[in-house]
Amino acid sequence: MTAAAALAKNRYVPAALGLGSFVAFIALVELLIRVGVINRFIVPMPSDIIAAFPRVIVEEHVLQRFLLTAGEALSASILVTIFGVAGGVLLYRYHLLRLATETWVAAVAAAPLVLMYPLYLVIFGRSALTIVMMGFTAGLAPIMLKTLEGLLATRRVLINVGRSFNLTPSQQFWKILFPAALPTIFVGLRLGLIFALINIVGVEFLINFGGLGQLINELAERYDLAGTYAAICFVILVSICVFILMERLERWLRPVD
């Protein structure tokens, strides 16, 4: 075994390498700003962003805003997971429905759905429900498509083995189709949650309501660049939390891997 392979098997080395690369990148940006290569009126120095964290936390009530955005993201995640996977299963089960709607679902996945927020404001009002439903709408199509892809990609030999054991359609789905499609379904979930979170923060910004998106809007209007970037870091933290939950759920559903 080579030294590189041994280091790769150590679970702490990749994390340390990633953290070191991030710190090096931040130091490089700081240097480029100080020497004038990057305009500090467009990108604040990382040291100023770090110094802005205590002020943003204390003065801007960032914890409450963080929890609100995280709650909206979690609610949208639950909705898109349930309805997205169920929609993909429906498209797989009913061939005619798939032929009639698959192209439309793909078109919705590529559309800038955030532009629909005025319609959602009319339907749901200026509330957190509008933000959750926008995130749900944005994340639904990718999950449906990847669920359908995973089910269609199940090897025919596995299905034939299930039939040879006289499994019912329900047993075939839960014992063969769903486990085989699970890796692809989780790819779709990650994509769907990315789209949902982008739209949640974007709509908070646009309608100036709610959590971190509203905070970013307020700080940007004050031209508080360091505070704005600090607030964006909390948005990144929300996405990290969501993806950690997704990884734990995947490990629970796929204990062998």
Model pLDDT, residue 44: 86
Query: What sign results for the dihedral spanned by CA atoms 112, 244, 234, 128?
Result: positive
CATH topology (fold) of 52-253: MetI-like fold (1.10.3720)
Domains in the chain: boundaries: 3-41, 52-253
Taken in order 228, 203, 197, 184, is the CA torsion positive or negative? negative
Assess whether pLDDT exceeds 70 at residue 47. Answer: yes
pLDDT at 255 over 60: no
Model confidence at 49, pLDDT cuts 50, 70, 90, reads confident
Q: What would you measure as the largest C-alpha separation in the chain, in angstroms?
A: 73
pLDDT at res. 257: 47
E strand intervals along 93-201:
none
pLDDT at 27 over 80: yes
Predicted local distance difference test score (pLDDT) of residue 148? 92
Residues 200, 235 contacting (CB under 8 angstroms)? no
pLDDT at 55: 85
Residue 44 per-residue DSSP state: -
What sign does the CA torsion over 126, 110, 230, 190 have?
positive
| pLDDT tens digits along 141-189 | 999 999 999 999 888 888 888 888 888 888 888 888 888 888 899 888 8
Q: How many CA atoms lie within 13 A of 184 on its CB side?
A: 18
**Which phi and psi angles does 209 have, rounded to 5°?**
-140, 135
The whole-number pLDDT of residue 221 equals 85
* pLDDT of residue 1 exceeding 70: no
Mean of all residue pLDDT scores within the chain: 85
**Statement: the pTM of the whole predicted model exceeds 0.95:** no
Poorest-pLDDT segment among 12-21, 107-116, 138-147, 202-211: 12-21
Beta carbons of 65 and 215 less than 8 angstroms apart: yes
> What pLDDT does 147 receive?
93
Confidence of residue 4 (pLDDT cuts 50, 70, 90): low
Neighbouring C-beta atoms of residue 156, cutoff 10 Å: 7
- Residue pair 148/88 in contact (Cβ under 8 Å)? The answer is yes
